[in-house]
Structure 1
């Protein structure tokens, strides 16, 4: 069912206005107008709203902030399709495709300006397309949301198990225990605590991430990474749906799951792993495992089979992600590992 708005009114209505106008007990599917292409084709974001009959929090789900990250879109779609608005307390809002031109182009970044959308928040209503897209999503979240889940996947060249990332946003942000209590509903392999200024992260404006900007506003927010990009992975999608159902129960929006989540492996220091030699990377470890000290993450060999480099660590590490594509050049990433961790058991 569409929102009861005329096309012209709907074109002008921002996300929070559309959420406010949605009828209680109904599911609506509309769009947010962001701009136009040179051809005149509109640039729009799909907006899904499931509004319950009872009062409750607003849970906002965002997907495809990178256009090649697919599993989150499908997890959001499946979760929203399974909601019963008559038995829902509060509202679930979703922007499942927040980077539509990148999705259509099968690219990570916004093709029109080559910007990383998840380094562009809070955005601007008078900037490049990445800023316009970020503004369209963030303005609605700023006005309406209580809890935000931003779905990602790992690079398409890598494999990983579902895991979580949450940011250290300083004073005024929700506490770590509250964040981990929500994160634990997804039973992630690890939950990585990230500083946006950490030298171990990739270059760029990490403070422009959606979840970090939400935390700075005092909203509970985190990232869920659902496997690898540019493909659908049914197990990862199911993991996302199950986590959303448990999270909604945790927030009191639907009947709570009787099964309580277990402890979380909290990673407090992590790093990308780079190859020094070009050649062919051969995996010796698997994502979602603990790699003992001295055991190889993998080898880099030349075309004749000669070993050019063996990648090991002087300590045990958590293998968060590992490269599947064997073709590597000097400086390419071959892994992503946790270096320091503990087990969080809740309050």
Structure 2
């Protein structure tokens, strides 16, 4: 493809032009086709191709809201290069307000997909072949799932200098070292030789304005670093870098109540929460096993023994 030609989903986008395209997902039994809107804006000047995507899990509303704000504020209209926005990636899950695809599969474990596989796998294959090869950079916006709330963070492999640099530029409170998960979008994009950041903030089926603001401002910072937008990069505070982390798990089953604020630093033996039964017979404290930062917590009122309840940093010297 020449510098003067950019073709996506069968349509050529000329310099200085934009388009709202549709990616066919599936033919329904009602004879209707299900399509995903893909919003493309190309500048008059050459530059990188940045993909912004939300709603890979249909119940993760914050990512959808972040993309909506970016489009509303016209940040997706670059001075250089091309910006592709897919606000609602998993339209099936979004309509049903559920994490999964209709076939019960987690779409983010189906990449790069197969043309003859399950419905989710076919969709993953279409994306992997028709959109992913065109991009240079990706920001994938997520929230916590299964009753977990993530304090705003971006995830990458810290040893990858280019990705880590963009993570710092993003400006989220936490940067978390995270290996590539097999069959995820992130792993697929990485294997293609492209750079991808994973954003995490808030919880499913919830809109958190502070998380949305971090996502919008972070994406704009990345655009500025890539010289796709003008202006000064604004990072409010140096991020806390988490090299290693783990989930603390419930030592008992029962009703659960957290007693610490998400995003805070705690000391060893500090009380993090309590687990108790509904009959007033026992109440057990959950304490920090070591000094750490908390950047994820379980908001469920009832937990079972072994459930993940606090995502914490493991500090090494």
TM-score, normalised via structure 2 length: 0.90
Counterpart CA distance in 2 for 1:340 and 1:26 is 49
Counterpart CA distance in 2 for 1:37 and 1:300 is 46
The equivalent of 1:70 in structure 2 is 61
The equivalent of 2:51 in structure 1 is 60
The equivalent of 1:184 in structure 2 is 168
Q: 1:341 to 1:319 in 2, by over 3 A?
A: farther
CA contact (8 A) 1:250 1:256 kept: no
Q: 1:141 to 1:309 in 2, by over 3 A?
A: farther
The equivalent of 1:287 in structure 2 is 262
* Residue-pair matches, total: 312
Output one character per residue of 1:15-54: Cα deviation in whole Å (capped at 9) or x when no partner.
9523861233233212101211222221222111011111
Counterpart CA distance in 1 for 2:20 and 2:183 is 28
CA contact (8 A) 1:16 1:143 kept: no
Q: Does 1:328 align with 2:312?
A: no
Equivalent position SS for 1:340: coil
CA contact (8 A) 1:321 1:337 kept: yes
CA contact (8 A) 1:24 1:53 kept: yes
Counterpart CA distance in 2 for 1:305 and 1:322 is 25
Equivalent position SS for 1:49: strand
CA contact (8 A) 1:123 1:131 kept: yes
Equivalent position SS for 1:287: coil
Q: 1:177 to 1:135 in 2, by over 3 A?
A: same
Q: Does 1:235 align with 2:235?
A: no
- What RMSD in Å do the two structures reach over aligned CA positions? 2.3
The equivalent of 2:3 in structure 1 is none
Unaligned runs of 5+ in 1: 1-14, 169-174, 197-205, 343-347
Equivalent position SS for 2:108: helix
Deviates more, 1:330-339 or 1:41-50: 330-339
Cα offset, 1:81, TM superposition: 2.9
TM-score, normalised via structure 1 length: 0.83
Unaligned runs of 5+ in 2: 1-5
Output one character per residue of 1:197-222: Cα deviation in whole Å (capped at 9) or x when no partner.
xxxxxxxxx21111122112211112
Q: Does 1:122 align with 2:112?
A: yes
Q: 1:189 to 1:261 in 2, by over 3 A?
A: closer
Instruction: Note the 1:219-258 alignment, pairs <5 A.
Output: 219-258=194-233
The equivalent of 2:187 in structure 1 is 212
CA contact (8 A) 2:79 2:228 kept: yes
Q: 1:249 to 1:163 in 2, by over 3 A?
A: same
Q: Does 1:89 align with 2:74?
A: no
Q: Could you tell me which of 254, 263, 267 is aligned with 2:238?
A: 263
The equivalent of 1:153 in structure 2 is 143
Q: 1:103 to 1:160 in 2, by over 3 A?
A: same
Q: 1:183 to 1:307 in 2, by over 3 A?
A: farther
Deviates more, 1:179-188 or 1:159-168: 159-168
Equivalent position SS for 1:247: helix
Equivalent position SS for 1:263: coil
CA contact (8 A) 1:184 1:261 kept: no
Equivalent position SS for 1:218: coil
Cα offset, 1:244, TM superposition: 1.0
Counterpart CA distance in 2 for 1:246 and 1:50 is 18
Q: 1:188 to 1:92 in 2, by over 3 A?
A: same
Equivalent position SS for 1:230: coil
The equivalent of 1:194 in structure 2 is 178
